[in-house]
Amino acid sequence: MHPRNRAALRTGAVPVAFGILGAMLLWPLPRYFRSAIPGDGFDGWQNLWNLWWIRRSLLELGCSPWFTPLLDYPNGASLLFHTLNFPNGLLALPVYEALGPYAAYNFIVVFSFAAGGLGAVLLALRLLGRRGYPAALFAGCAFAFSPFHIAHLLGHMQVFAFQWLPCAVLGAVWLWEGAPAPEGTALRQQRTRLLLGALFGALAALVDWYNLIYLCLFWAVYGIWQFLHLARASWRKACRAAAFAALQPLGMLAVCAPLLVPMVQEALRADYMQPGQGEALALSADLLAYFVPQEMHPLWGRFAARLLDFWPVSTAERMIYLGAVPTALAILGWRRGSLRVRPFVWVALVFFLLSLGPALRIGGKVIAFLGQPLPMPYAWLARAFPWLEIARSLSRYSVMVLLAVALLAAAGLKALCPSRRRAWWGTLLACGLTLFEFFPAPYPFSPPDVPEWYRSLPPGRGAILNLPVTWDRPRYLLYQMAHGRPLVAGYISRRNPRAPAELYPGLQHLRSLGSDVLPLPDAPTFASIAADLGIEYVVLDHYQMAGREREETLRLVRLLLPGQLLAYEDDRLEVYRIAPPERRSSYVALYGEWGGLERWGEELLGRRAYPKSGLLLRPAQGCTLTVSVVCDAGRSGTVFSSEREAILLREIVPGCGKLVGVTWSEDCAEAARG
């Protein structure tokens, strides 16, 4: 067989082997391939809905997938800041059409093992050379089957589909190897490398915007190291090479520009997409978590989980263990590896420090220095680039630590086993020990649990309001895949400031289970609001309510829906069909973009106002509304309206930074005389 054919066959066998091994590692995945998804049944349903929505938007509705009218109806929801992972939806589309949504989801799972392992192998092979092929296979094993990957398979498709990251890194390595940019044929090769790196970078960014941050930081760290290395020989050549290499991240940004530009404009105008204070620290990596074995192992998993109790976040965020064998070999690779792998020592260090977040935390305790939390590099980086704070789960920076450690471990294994025979036996032993250490058994699976009422609901345009709505449930997205109707509330990755549950009286109270800036409407007024929003059904799911949430939700339903038709009832669901009112009532709603509800204990502080914050005035026919607005610092204003209109808050109370309350009264004297 020709050497090229042998190399192609060997390369093609790698993803097949990694895919099969990944499917076996997640047993019983092959049994549930078309009927369930791996994970805990939370964010997995959101990502399953992503596949469904991408298919429906492209093949049925013919609209942009980055905006959906089916969530937060009738206003709709922008999905720019949502983890839509569009490339996964495109990749899974043929499988979706042939085998259905669950097979499409599980195809992406298997593909992440196959392509992720292949990308790490090719990257390691580029750094180690042909004689490092056995060690490169270990790099793929340590990366593809890592606890980080296994943990995020619980539901974070945008994270576990990390296969494009090593490919983008390979593009950068490949590009710098040809630096400085030569002439002729070699220049054309460099252009190809540049385009491939930019393409893989764009794919990674479109799967998850976190990857955009990771790759920009990687290109900076790796580029600085290579620049300084080349500058020892010639500063001129180093500058020329750096200018050419910079085109790769710029190319990635150019591909993503149609989405990034409106996102930047939105981020400059408002801050609703940023997480709340304290989330960055809570979701930063704890130093000890890097040394605690993965908590899904059949032998020591429970013990490891108890050790990690000091970090009260989900398993998906705290399983960042790198493995004993990869770490030991990475240390050896750092000491004895070639010059080509040295930059990844700095990559590992930089991303390790960034994953620790704004302050150092060890064993759940924030380390203090001179009475203040000990600041880490991320705190300074976020101060210089505030937009970084949109990415709240800082422990996920560990994925680049994982990739760098896998590459260094491959270099260490090559140095430890220099002969070909010893290299293969050493690789088999290292892979076996690592797979045993990373083995999760049995892996949890979530079959779909859709109440029969949703399946039997006839097609229609009427919207559904699912309760409780105190926080958005991903199960409602699973139900929507069965009935296809719009939802008044929907679960997306970032808060939607235009969601009706944030803007309309009654819905606000069902969301907060307490007071809000708008007063609680009476039943006729809420019927008018429901009619304007196109709500046909209000569905109470008793299986998703408990304690105070259940008590308050039921209390509000009794106040808002008396006399409405109980269309269906069983031990789980209570379904009301909303009839339009005989006469419309007057009401006021919020309009445009608003900040979230702010409280101090039980005291209502109000909602932050943005430049596009306003009020929606809805007087009944023949009536005049008198609306009184109270802002922070005791400022107030009044507006009158006899027509339906939207008015900006700044036109009522100039300079209002926070809305505290709204009241209204109506005068229907003329209508009564008529």
How would DSSP label each residue in 366-403? EPEETTEE-B-HHHHHHHH-GGGGG---GGGGHHHHHH
Q: Is 489 in a helix, a strand, or coil?
A: coil
Does residue 474 contact residue 42 with C-beta atoms inside 8 Å?
yes
Give the residue-averaged pLDDT of 238-264: 92
Question: What is the C-alpha separation between 85 and 209, in angstroms, rounded?
Answer: 9
As given in the structure block, the two tokens for residue 267 are: 């981020």
Give the residue-averaged pLDDT of 401-408: 98
Predicted local distance difference test score (pLDDT) of residue 276: 65
What is the band of 164 on the pLDDT scale with cuts at 50, 70, 90? very high
Q: Which residue has the tokens 């006899």?
A: 642
Q: Would strands 535-541 and 573-577 be described as parallel, antiparallel, or unpaired?
A: antiparallel
The torsion angles phi and psi of 392, rounded to 5 degrees, stand at: -90, -30
Does residue 266 contact residue 273 with C-beta atoms inside 8 Å?
yes
Give the residue-averaged pLDDT of 283-293: 93
Can you say how many angstroms the Cα of residue 187 is from the centroid of all Cα atoms in its chain?
38
Question: What is the C-alpha separation between 336 and 320, in angstroms, rounded?
Answer: 26
As given in the structure block, the two tokens for residue 364 are: 């759940």
Give me Rg for the CA atoms of the chain. Answer: 28
pLDDT at 490 > cutoff 90: no
Give the residue-averaged pLDDT of 132-148: 96
Question: What is the C-alpha separation between 234 and 127, in angstroms, rounded?
Answer: 23
Does residue 85 contact residue 108 with C-beta atoms inside 8 Å?
no
Can you say how many angstroms the Cα of residue 168 is from the centroid of all Cα atoms in its chain?
20
Side-chain half-sphere CA neighbours of 526 within 13 A: 26
Runs of H (alpha helix) within 161-288? 164-177, 185-207, 209-231, 235-245, 247-269, 279-282
pLDDT tens digits along 348-397: 999 999 999 999 999 888 988 878 888 899 989 888 888 787 888 999 99
Give the residue-averaged pLDDT of 237-244: 89
Predicted local distance difference test score (pLDDT) of residue 383: 85
pLDDT at 603 > cutoff 80: no
Side-chain half-sphere CA neighbours of 186 within 13 A: 10
Predicted local distance difference test score (pLDDT) of residue 673: 33
pLDDT tens digits along 422-433: 899 999 999 999
Give the residue-averaged pLDDT of 471-486: 92
In the chain, the percentage of residues whose pLDDT exceeds 90 is 69
Tell me which of 11 and 78 has the higher pLDDT: 78
Span of 87-96, 317-326, 663-672 with lowest mean pLDDT: 663-672
What is the band of 593 on the pLDDT scale with cuts at 50, 70, 90? confident
Give the residue-averaged pLDDT of 492-519: 92
* pTM, full prediction: 0.94
In the chain, the percentage of residues whose pLDDT exceeds 70 is 96
Give the contacts of 198 (CB within 8 A, at least 6 positions apart): 171, 247, 248, 249, 250, 251, 252, 254, 255
Mean pLDDT, the chain, whole residue set = 91
pLDDT tens digits along 18-65: 999 999 999 999 999 999 999 977 899 999 999 999 999 999 999 999
Predicted local distance difference test score (pLDDT) of residue 672: 40
Question: What is the C-alpha separation between 640 and 616, in angstroms, rounded?
Answer: 12
Per DSSP, 308 falls in state G
Does residue 517 contact residue 595 with C-beta atoms inside 8 Å?
no
